[in-house]
Amino acid sequence: MADDDVPVTRPLVRPRRLRRTPGLRNLVAETSLEARQLVLPLFVREGIDEPVAISSMPGVVQHSRDTLLKAVAEAADLGLGGVMLFGIPEAKDPTGSGAIDPGGILNLAITDVVGEVGDALTVMSDLCLDEFTDHGHCGVLTPDGRVDNDATLELYAEMARAQAHAGVDAVGPSGMMDGQVRVVREALDAASHAEVAVIAYSAKYASAFFGPFREAVDSSLVGDRKTYQQDPRNGREGVREALLDVEEGADVVMVKPALGYLDVVAAVRAAVDVPVAAYNVSGEYAMVEAAAAQGWIDREAAILESLTSIRRAGADVVLTYWAAEAARLLRR
Ligand code: PBG
């Protein structure tokens, strides 16, 4: 304890000096958050004429083909970096055939969207079977119900060709099958689509924070994805997955979810020399929205702080359901 007679030592170093005014704080800010770094995930559902609300993701909807075009036009106007498209078919089956069908909802939507925005916005598509299978898994099943890695790879190759043919700029293999990036890259190249980029969901965890997404895509999944998505206890393994994907030809690697995995984002950023993306997932969105709806949190500040934190951890690109709104907030 300080003796009453001893004078308090005045600090020699004063970090607060640089925090005194907004101008000083802006001058020395280490991290930027810009619209061009944000990617908006969008859902398009077959067979609807009006958008359908997703109750666990207030403000996010399943789009019809028409309203999807309005959303992408707005995304382009706002200067977003891109959109990530997810399709919800009317009918699902064991092999997810709607994913490969050139007339499947996602492939049609890709062509619509590219026709609407051209090169103004990077158009990406989720490359995974879970929205299309009746069992809800990311791949096809063996007779005894396990997810069959190599049989699934063959379908991913076909899906990559279908999406590239529809005109997509980048495909996002997200099923966590071993070897998926190599198979997708080879399929694209063999089909004369060497220009299509691969944004790989590399370190993707078996996360409870994907919960609301399952409602968003009308998923029929029973159980979990723990035999293919990563164990949340493993950080080094996330780096290993990212390095493997770079070796297999990934142009961008992704970590998902984002906020609970900022250590993985930072470690991956340090380990690779390709751009790193992070996906601020449905459950992370829902938590802030739910708290804000109760008046328990300052919604706009929490959105910008969340996205800035993901950037600070090392993500070059952030996928977020708040992309359009954040772009608007950043313009103020
Ligand atoms: C798989 C996929 C999922 C998400 C993105 N791509 C679901 C899953 O792996 O279970 C989750 C996104 C989110 O929660 O926001 N197609």
Tell me the mean pLDDT per 10 residues along the chain, length 332. 76 97 98 98 98 97 98 98 98 97 98 96 98 97 97 98 98 98 98 98 97 92 94 98 98 98 98 98 98 98 98 98 98 90
pLDDT at 2: 52
Which of 70, 92, 204, 226 is labelled catalytic? 204
Distances in Å between the Cα of 248 and the Cα atoms of 160, 168, 221, 242, 278 are: 15, 20, 29, 10, 19
Residues with CB under 6 A from ligand 1: 126, 128, 130, 174, 210, 213, 225, 281-282
- Distance, in Å, from the CA atom of 251 to the CA atom of 202, rounded to the nearest integer, reads 11
Residue 210 CA to ligand 1 centre (angstroms): 6
Does the annotation count 256 as an active-site position? yes
pLDDT at 6: 84
Report which residue type is found at 158.
E
pLDDT at 39: 98
Helix segments in the chain, DSSP class H: 22-28, 65-77, 105-117, 149-166, 180-190, 211-216, 236-247, 262-271, 282-293, 299-313, 323-331
What's the pTM? 0.96
pLDDT at 251: 98
For the chain, the domains span: 34-330
Ligand 1, atom 2: closest residue by C-alpha: 174
- What is 34-330's CATH topology? TIM Barrel (3.20.20)
**Run of H or E including 42:** strand 38-45
Distances in Å between the Cα of 171 and the Cα atoms of 27, 35, 197, 242, 251 are: 37, 21, 6, 16, 10
Residue 19 CA to ligand 1 centre (angstroms): 39
Cis, peptide link before residue 257, omega less than 30° from 0: yes
- Distance, in Å, from the CA atom of 55 to the CA atom of 38, rounded to the nearest integer, reads 24
pLDDT at 315: 98
| Choice from 129, 130, 209 to test ligand 1 binding pocket (greatest atom count within 8 A of CB) | 130
Per this entry, what is the length of the chain? 332
Does the annotation count 92 as an active-site position? no
| Choice from 40, 54, 128 to test ligand 1 binding pocket (greatest atom count within 8 A of CB) | 128
Residue 213 CA to ligand 1 centre (angstroms): 6
